[in-house]
Structure 1
Amino acid sequence: MLLETTKIPMADFMGRFASQFFEKAKDMLQPEYQPGQHPAIARQLEHLPMLRKPFPAQAENILAASVHLYACDQPAIVLSQDMGTGKTLVGSTIAMMGKRPQRIIVVVPPHLVAKWAREIEVTFPSVDVHKINHAGAIEALEKAYRAHSGQPERPEFWIIGRVRLRMSYRFHAQTNTQMQYSSWAERYVKRLTCPTCGGILMKPGKKPNKKETESMDLTEKVIPGAADGSEGDEDGIYYEFADHDFLNTAKRTCQHVKTGDQVKDGCGAPLWSARRLHEKSTEETIASAMQKLPGIGKGTAEKIMALAPTTIREIIRDLSNGDIHPAMSNVLNKSATKKVRAYIEHTGFTLGDGNYAPVEFIKRQIKKGWFDVAIFDELHEFKGDNTAQGVAFGILASRCRKVIGLTGTLVDGYAASLHPLLFRCDPQSLMRMGFGADDGARFQREMGVIRETVVEEEEDGLSTSRGRKVVRRQIRNLPGIHPNVVANLLLPNALFLDLPDIEKSLQQLAKEQGAGEVRLLPSFREVFVKIPQTVHQEERVTKFCKTILDAMKDAMRNGGEKGLMGPVMSAALYAADGGYKDVVCHPKRHEKPLGILKPIVTEHEILEKEKFMRDLAIRSVSAGRKLLIYTIYTDKLDLVRREVA
């Protein structure tokens, strides 16, 4: 018996059997959230005091995330939503869905701090919003923690920019000095010593060659067991006397010291101290902080600084507590006093605390769980494995009970970029799969796609008839993600929302309530039109492109600059559009241009693409339509200003 087979397009096949596939997947995956199955959480969202209610599609994401975080007690959720779908509203509402008032820290791009604060204030009427994207962030956190180290009485939002969160302080070497007689130099030389144990500081070195050994008065290298180099194992570890260049490159500790003629282990004490970015005196720092208050200029600040030192200390204490000292009120007029009072009530007053990272303060000085929820806006910006932002993300996530990530581009196609994000959000899930914090390369190899290029070259042995084979390996990450990543990591911990979802939910709601048609997104049709050049124009442009591309290949083949690709490709792409004038490809640090394209049209002619655009504009204006013309070229390559008759 022969069976007939029929080929149908994949889109038609999926459309025909979509419901069966969905039901089968639902039975296998056992989703945590199903619409209508969680009435308690739905009632909680309905009674949540909000001045702006979420759209139906947004509400579904809020309910699903709340079930995941609070009912199922999962540590993290990632919201992958399109721009304009309300990530701020959805993320902040999910954070508010805890069983008690939550203390929430929000990490956002610096330019969005004010926007987040404004959105929260106009959405939730009974919350406290603190903007700490300033130098006094640590002072504000410390004051709040000392005053209320327990659970908050009402919801709190602490908003900080991601740059401020991970900023660190500067440091410099902190050592003592000791004069020691050098037998090689035959004079006393200055040595750096540890302030704690007093030993002469040493640093690891390399075995000196014969030439260096003959000039030991300049290098003065020693090895363990024989500080003068006359005895000891020739293959032993060599040490040099530490200098400021070595100590200032990192936060060093006392590891090796010279005691007598021996090099021994140091005491481990730190050999650095923190310092501010500026060298201002205490008076200058206070005056500068005063001038940041509204209504206080340089002259008024000088009058305040002329008061008694005890009075100045009382003024600073009162400002930090949100009050204005009577002595300060006497200096200010009524209008300035009112402005200062409003400012410190809303923003607070601080003298600044240098550049010590707030995330380090949270890690070391604030107990774990004081912040209930951490929200990270633009989560993909924290995907760096060893970047300061990535490390700050991992530290803060580990100090909070729940983590909410917001992004529009969760997956960039590479498995390696997902590893640090997923591990810092939910390390247990990756550890169950056998991946640790340092397994990013293995995660890409096993859960992504790599291309390994192996090149074997046989070098001429010269003195022998047989050469030596040299094997070179090059590994490159390629786009691609294993299905296990999607099934075991993304689907259980991520929610997705785009604009058509919101529009569809509103249309369904309008239909149920008998309202008219609802359309959020305008209908449009995208058409690609290929504009052919004339034969003469095409020949000229093709010849120009071939000339500059060949010149680039020759230069790179002969070991020339690697920066030729940009200017050459820019000139080649611009030639067809800017051919009404000279197109010159002249990379920097080159004596002469790689190629010049003379105008491919006369002074009174226009290009074929310009003819099409002119005719389209005439038809659109005649039909009463508006027309927007967009060009990618600006500045010297600008095409908009060209007059097309």
Structure 2
Amino acid sequence: MGAIHPQLDTPEQNADELHMSLAIFIDQFGEGLLEQVRRQNPPIYDPDLDTQTPVWRARQHVLDNLTRQPFEAQAHAVHAVVKLLLDHNEPAAVLNADMGTGKTMMAICVAALMQSTHPRTLIVSPPHLVYKWRREILATVPGAKVWILNGPDTLRKLLALRNALGLKTSKPEFFVLGRVRMRMGFHWKPAFLTRQVLQDGQRFRFACCPDCMEPIERENADGEMMPLSAEAAALMLADRRCKCSHCDSTLWTLIRAGKRIDSMHDLVLGALKQMPTIGDKTARKLLSIFGEDLLGGMLDDNVYEFLNLMDESGELVFSDRQAMRMERSLASFEFSIGEGGYQATEFIKRVRREVA
């Protein structure tokens, strides 16, 4: 009988032996890798160190006095965001967490900790969650005031609130805007004045900035800055929104679109017909029963209230099957009744610049 030799490992077997599961790899090398990451990117917030500081204890005292208390892990995330924004003067912070971890609660707590320096908080929310934000704010922050700005008159309300509330406040104030209201496009046109300028004994009419009245200039072929006529300025400013080179004021203004503005009845009718299971006949019937004001308010401010619409006898207008279909559609659908020609983000940016 010949000798029996042990079977040699194949290359495939050797390669398999070199593989290591992720769990084993992290167990063996995770601590060293984490330490290396900490050395290269030191954390802004360290619970073991920060919890010993007077600043942390003062902020924790604010959290302890909220009506609803965040969990310990949520509180650490809140402290980290506030430290990044206030102590490190960063313009923004990202709170990234899974669904159900309490992002709304943590964001409200961040706003509560910043009340001493930033008493007013602007919240941009999906339209169907604006009332959830209002509910949670009132249930968390004692004495808070909440305004819902989710309708076609968002800018009018902002202007009215600006005049009524003034620049300072002693109580926490929250302004909740539906996301679709903030991202609306807007129409604009060049904005400048014309003035007469005496040059070489002759009078010329040039375009100038409405704020500082300095001429709007453009560099010529010789590299010299030359004032522009009204016609030349209109052509130069028509393609892009520019600012004055002297005072940095905007040389454009917002305008309304030139399209025909539909009546409220037509706007609500069109919105109703976009809803699943509702055709033209049903939409007109609903309008005749409930009216354009009631239905328009529901569709614009809280579309989920529309699902529970009741008739005079207290019976639900829509069956369970209809309501389920519409609810599934509303998860990714946003209404815009009476869309205006102004963008809320541009308005807020200008107001903040004026206040500053």
Task: Give the partner amino acid of 1:53.
Answer: Q
Find 1:89's aligned residue among 105, 117, 122: 105
Are 2:342 and 1:356 aligned?
Answer: yes
Structure 2 CA distance for aligned equivalents of residues 275 and 132 of structure 1: 25
**Which runs of structure 2 are paired with 1:221-232 in the superposition (5 Å)?**
none
Alignment of 1:482-521 (within 5 A): none
Residue of structure 2 in register with 1:453 after alignment: none
| TM alignment of 1:59-458, pairs within 5 A | 59-98=75-114, 99-168=116-185, 255=235, 274-275=257-258, 278=261, 354-364=340-350, 366-368=351-353
Deviation at 1:7, TM superposition (A): 4.0
- Residues 226-265 of structure 1: CA deviation (Å, up to 9, x unaligned): xxxxxxxxxxxxxxxxxxxxxxxxxxx9539xxxxxxxxx
The 5 A counterparts of 1:5-84 are 7=18, 9-11=20-22, 12-38=24-50, 39=53, 40-48=55-63, 49-84=65-100
Aligned equivalents of 2:74, 2:256: Cα separation in 1: 50
Cα deviation for residue 23 of structure 1 reads 2.4
CA-CA distance at 1:368 after TM superposition: 3.0
Contact persistence 2:127–2:179 (CA under 8 A): yes
* Deviations 1:137-196 (CA, angstroms, capped at 9, x unpaired): 112211222234423322111111111112246799xxxxxxxxxxxxxxxxxxxxxxxx
Residue 79 of structure 1 aligns to a residue whose secondary structure is coil
Counterpart contact for 1:113–1:131, Cα < 8 Å: yes
**Separation in 2, partners of 1:279, 1:8:** 67
Task: Tell me the distance in 2 between the aligned counterparts of 1:165 and 1:273.
Answer: 16
Q: Report the Cα offset of residue 74 of structure 1.
A: 1.1
Distance 1:89 1:279 in 2: 40
Distance 1:171 1:36 in 2: 53
Q: CA deviation at 1:19?
A: 2.0
What residue in structure 1 maps to residue 9 of structure 2? none
1:95 deviates by 2.2
Aligned positions, number: 207
Tell me which protein shows more helix as a share of its residues. 2
- C-alpha separation in 1, matches of 2:187 and 2:83: 44
1: CA distance, partners of 2:252 / 2:234: 5
Q: 1:34 to 1:273 in 2, by over 3 A?
A: closer
Distance across 2 between alignment mates of 1:353 and 1:29:
46
Q: Percent identity?
A: 31
The AA in structure 1 aligned to 2:176 is: I
The Cα offsets for residues 418-469 of structure 1, whole Å up to 9 and x where unpaired, read as xxxxxxxxxxxxxxxxxxxxxxxxxxxxxxxxxxxxxxxxxxxxxxxxxxxx
Q: Secondary structure at the match of 1:92?
A: helix
- Whole-Å separation in 1 of the counterparts to 2:90 and 2:252: 41
Equivalent AA in structure 1 for residue 62 of structure 2: H
8 Å contact kept, 2:84–2:90: yes
Q: CA deviation at 1:25?
A: 2.2
CA distance, structure 2, for counterparts of residue 154 and residue 97 of structure 1: 13
Letter in 1 for 2:40: M
Q: Secondary structure at the match of 2:90?
A: coil
Aligned mates of 1:144, 1:269 — CA distance in 2? 25
Q: Distance in 2 between matches of 1:112 and 1:273?
A: 29
Structure 2: distance between partners of 1:27 and 1:41: 23
Q: CA deviation at 1:14?
A: 2.0
Q: CA RMSD in A?
A: 3.6
Instruction: Check conservation: 1:169, 1:275, Cα contact below 8 A.
Output: no
Could you tell me how far apart the structure 2 residues matched to 1:14 and 1:127 are? 46
Does the CA contact (< 8 Å) of 1:105 and 1:157 recur in 2? yes
Aligned counterparts of 2:113 and 2:354: Cα–Cα separation in 1: 17
CA 1:279–1:95 in structure 2 vs 1: closer, same or farther (change >3 Å)?
Answer: same
Q: What amino acid is aligned across from residue 47 of structure 1 in structure 2?
A: V
Alpha-carbon spacing, 1:88–1:45, altered in 2? closer, same or farther (3 Å): same
CA distance in 2, matches of 1:41, 1:151: 26
Q: CA deviation at 1:276?
A: 7.0
CA contact (8 A) 2:111 2:121 kept: yes
Tell me the distance in 1 between the aligned counterparts of 2:67 and 2:29.
42
Could you tell me how far apart the structure 2 residues matched to 1:67 and 1:169 are? Answer: 36
Q: 1:8 to 1:167 in 2, by over 3 A?
A: closer
Measure, in 1, the Cα distance between the counterparts of 2:121 and 2:103. 16
Taking a change above 3 Å as real, the CA distance of residues 94 and 65 of structure 1, as seen in their structure-2 partners, is same
Give the deviation of 1:42 after TM superposition.
Answer: 4.0
Distance 2:146 2:340 in 1: 24
CA distance in 2, matches of 1:88, 1:369: 30
Distance in 1, Cα, partners of 2:42 & 2:76: 18
After superposition, the C-alpha distances for 1:71-94 in whole angstroms (9 at most, x for unaligned) are 111111111110000110111211
Query: What residue identity is the alignment partner of 1:106?
Result: I
- Cα contact 1:41–1:67 (8 A) shared by 2: no
Q: TM-score, normalised by structure 2?
A: 0.50
Structure 2 unmatched ranges of 5 or more: 1-16, 190-205, 207-232, 237-250, 265-289, 292-337
What amino acid maps onto 1:24 in structure 2? Q
Aligned residue type for 1:35: P
Per the alignment, do residues 59 and 166 of structure 1 end up closer, same or farther by CA in structure 2, a change over 3 Å counting? same
Letter in structure 1 aligned against 2:182: L
Q: Secondary structure at the match of 1:159?
A: strand
Partner SS state of residue 353, structure 2: coil
